[in-house]
Amino acid sequence: MSSAKIPKITNQEIEAFEQDGVVCLRGLFEDVWLERLRSAVDWNMTNPGPIATNLTQGGRLHLDVFMWTRNSDFRAFVFESPVAAIAAQILKAEKVHFLFDHLLVKEPGYIKPILWHNDHPDWPLQGWNMCSLWVALDPVTKETGGVQYIKGSHQWRKWLRQKDALAEAVAHSASLELLSWNMAPGDCLVHHALTIHASSGNASTSTRRRALVTRWAGDGVTYDPRPDTFITHINKIGVKEVNSIHRLHAGDSIDCDLFPQLWPRA
Ligand SMILES: O=C(O)CCC(=O)C(=O)O
């Protein structure tokens, strides 16, 4: 059991998440966590995992996933910080499973946008109660590549991938309301797995944009090993936890070592 203080998410914040598909929660993570994560990010950028992505276009983009299986600081954040308790409150869940962590570093000058999409299509899961917690490790503005969301778009229940031309067309429809926030380090966005979102590159010449995203499933989520999800390249991460997912069948609950249940805490 962790000694981390558990922040109370208000009913208003939970309602904003349910209605808008995203909410910005302020100042939830103490500096000690942020410092620990920034050091872990530095480590990860010089020791990327087997399915990390590094692109250089102007500046550098560094993406990695499942760092918790290889690094004790990322693991401590997931298992011991308040993230699981926050996800449980937002999803009003009796229990939550951790899905994976996802690091997105946009260095100054990186120009390529992340196009409109939502997250669920890439996950080998079925169910409604899934969200991501996007934690800012730097000050974030639209200029440095902050995320923008289409308000209420989770309610459309559409799956959109970045490659779908439809996603761009939909996002540019004049009648839609976009949501975005300037953020301080330690602020956190929580978005539903079906909320459509995008971000620009990092136009700053000096400010980094490091974000750690953790992805969560609440009640009623089941396994759905569709071939067009991350399940197709999961073996490449080469860690023992992966074996556990291969014992699941379509429709099973997601109790396995790769998706540990972290709320309630053991
Ligand atoms: O960090 C970004 O710019 C995009 C984040 C994103 O697409 C996600 O968290 O699903």
What are the tens digits of pLDDT across the range 116-163?
A: 999 999 999 999 999 999 999 999 999 999 999 999 999 999 999 988
How many whole angstroms separate alpha carbon 208 and alpha carbon 138? 7
How does pLDDT run across 186-228, given as a tens digit for each residue?
Answer: 999 999 999 999 999 999 999 999 999 999 999 999 999 999 9
- CB distance 146 to ligand 1 below 6 Å: no
Class of domain 11-253: mainly beta
State in Å: Cα 162 to ligand 1 middle. Answer: 11
Q: Would you state the pLDDT for residue 4?
A: 60
The band of 27, judged by pLDDT with boundaries at 50, 70 and 90, is: very high
165 by Cβ neighbours in 10 Å (0-12 / 13-18 / 19+) ranks as exposed
**pLDDT averaged over every residue in the chain:** 94
Judge if the beta carbon of residue 129 lies within 6 A of ligand 1.
no
Residue 248 banded pLDDT, cuts 50, 70, 90: very high
Indicate if ligand 1 lies below 6 Å from the C-beta of 258.
no
**How does residue 167 score in pLDDT terms, banded at 50, 70 and 90?**
low
Picking from 192, 236, 197, the residue whose alpha carbon sits closest to that of residue 66 is 236
211 Cβ below 6 A of ligand 1 = yes
Token reading at 86 = 């926050």
Q: Is the pLDDT of residue 21 over 60?
A: yes
- Calculated CA dihedral for residues 160, 254, 16, 81, nearest 10 degrees: -120
- Calculate mean pLDDT across residues 100-104: 98
Ligand 1 centre distance from Cα of residue 104 (Å): 7
- Closest ligand 1 atom to 213 CA: 9
How would residue 173 be classed by pLDDT, with cut points 50, 70 and 90?
A: confident
This model's pTM is above 0.85: yes
- State the pLDDT at residue 1: 40
Nearest CA to 217 out of 66, 55, 93 is that of 93
Q: What average pLDDT score do residues 9-29 get? A: 97
Q: What's residue 26's pLDDT? A: 98
pLDDT digit string (tens) for 230-243? 999 999 998 999 99
d(CA 97, CA 121): 18
